[in-house]
Structure 1
Amino acid sequence: MEENAPAGGATARRILVVDDEPTIAESVAARLRAEGFTVDTAHDGPAAVAAVTTFDPDLVVLDVMLPGYDGLEVCRRIQAERSVPVLMLTARTDETDQLVGLGVGADDYLTKPFSLRVLTARVHALLRRVERAGAHNGTMITVVGDLRIDADQRRVWRGGTEAQLTPLEFDLLARLARRPRAVLARERLLEEVWDWADAAGTRAVDSHIKALRRKLGADLIRTVHGVGYALEAR
């Protein structure tokens, strides 16, 4: 592992980069350091889990294919300890693999090969979203039909049963719940939930919607083909 702190003793967000290919790990780490982040690297599953404990990152960039145990298992283990944003890197384009990653606690994913510019933009967007969530003060309860959302505790129940959502799943659901039955375009959701300025990641919206349906019920969110999604109350 290798850490590089910013000059001048300034406090910087800490990012753990996990990839079994040292060239890729160091290339990503170098770009993130140039953005002002403090970066550590790990190259296998056990080292990644250990680094989360010792390095205490604000965000993890995590490759799926790792020796020791894979990125999905790493994500399960670190999310069981504490909630930390995870940007997953995968060489797999199959949607099922991406949904599995989202299901174990990843917030976002990039398919290899990817541009460092896009990765950096995703990292900044995830961290901005975390900052917004942390800035919330006071209790806010939203009830839509049999759905109950506690914005202060970031907890969700449907029909009295609590669902375990990832941070990004929670933010997406909360955004839809602000205007029940209103159709929100994928592009608008990307801009307001992910902080993305373009529509390049619309499949990320679709994947997270599928994860929400799996956890809360297939009838909760309605698809408007060619447009976006709406939260249904009953």
Structure 2
Amino acid sequence: MVVSRRLLLVEDEPMVAALLQETLKAAGFEVLTAHSAVEAKSKAIEFDPDIAILDINLGGGPSGVDLSFLLHKTYPGIAIALLTKHPDLRTAGYTKEDVPAGCGFIRKDMVTNSQHIVEAIEKIVANTKHFHEDGDSSRPLGKLTTAQVGALRLVAQGYTNAEIAKRRKTSVRAVEQLLAAVFTTLHIEVNGPINPRVEAVRKFISAAGTPER
């Protein structure tokens, strides 16, 4: 007798959730879909998932990262992966220290067909720590340091250098130097016809969407 594996899918976009659910069911998973962390927490009690695939951004309320810790604590041994449009955790405002140990990372832009997502989940179940699509150095903004990504994210949120310095507990001069390094790494001219700050924000939004404040 083949025992189906119980997979909790948490995705706030209904169309994406429906497509993923259909794909995963066809691959033999028993799928329970939720559209928010609160809904997922409630539904998971009776479902008792073996696997959880979580979008990072779930609209208002707790994020997929918040939910990952709850599931990790409540269901020992559960395999967890974040499925997101972000090229890595940093553009979402997190680091690898902010998620449970062994949490996998699947980039939506890497999912070119249904088989990719199924294979990714199988690898995560086998050994989550070896599946991180956020480790590719060629990913968007991948050559920026964590500090540079953090500063650029704050710029994309609309903050001034003075406010960024306050939030990062540093000087305005240090922020200016950090952003200058961002422009250099992203090959943005500082004396050209295009405002380098605006161009850097355009690149961030293209890679990770508009960050919430």
TM-score by length of 1: 0.49
Structure 1's 98 and 61: CA in aligned 2 closer, same or farther, altered over 3 A?
farther
1:10 Cα deviation from its structure 2 partner: 4.5
Alignment match, 2:168: none
Letter in 2 for 1:75: S
- For residues 114-148 of structure 1, what are the alpha-carbon distances to aligned partners after superposition, in whole Å with 9 as ceiling and x for unaligned? 2332211111112233xxxxxxxxxxxxxxxxxxx
For the residues of structure 2 that align with 1:118 and 1:73, how far apart are their CA atoms? Answer: 26
Secondary structure of the structure 2 residue equivalent to 1:203: coil
Residues 74-223 of structure 1 aligned to structure 2 (within 5 Å): 74-83=67-76, 84-96=78-90, 97=92, 100=95, 103-105=98-100, 107-113=103-109, 114-115=111-112, 116-129=114-127, 168-169=128-129, 193-194=130-131, 201=133, 203=135
Q: Which of the two has higher C-alpha Rg?
A: 2
For the residues of structure 2 that align with 1:102 and 1:13, how far apart are their CA atoms? Answer: 28
Q: What percentage of aligned pairs have identical amino acids?
A: 23
Letter in 2 for 1:128: A
For the residues of structure 1 that align with 2:134 and 2:106, how far apart are their CA atoms? Answer: 12
Alignment match, 1:65: 57
Structure 1 outlier segments of 4+, above 4 Å: none
Gaps of 5+ in 1: 1-8, 130-167, 170-192, 195-199, 208-234
For the residues of structure 1 that align with 2:75 and 2:136, how far apart are their CA atoms? Answer: 23
Structure with the larger strand share: 1
The answer to whether the 8 A contact 2:87-2:134 is kept is no
For the residues of structure 2 that align with 1:107 and 1:47, how far apart are their CA atoms? Answer: 21
Letter in 1 for 2:35: H
Secondary structure of the structure 2 residue equivalent to 1:128: helix
Aligned residues: 132
Alignment match, 1:53: 45
Q: Does 1:16 align with 2:8?
A: yes
Structure 1's 46 and 202: CA in aligned 2 closer, same or farther, altered over 3 A?
closer
For the residues of structure 1 that align with 2:56 and 2:48, how far apart are their CA atoms? Answer: 20
Gaps of 5+ in 2: 143-213
The answer to whether the 8 A contact 1:88-1:101 is kept is no
For the residues of structure 1 that align with 2:136 and 2:68, how far apart are their CA atoms? Answer: 18
Structure with the larger helix share: 2
The answer to whether the 8 A contact 1:98-1:109 is kept is no
The answer to whether the 8 A contact 1:102-1:108 is kept is no
Letter in 2 for 1:74: L
Structure 1's 120 and 82: CA in aligned 2 closer, same or farther, altered over 3 A?
same
Task: Say what the alpha-carbon RMSD is for the aligned residues.
Answer: 2.8
1:50 Cα deviation from its structure 2 partner: 1.9
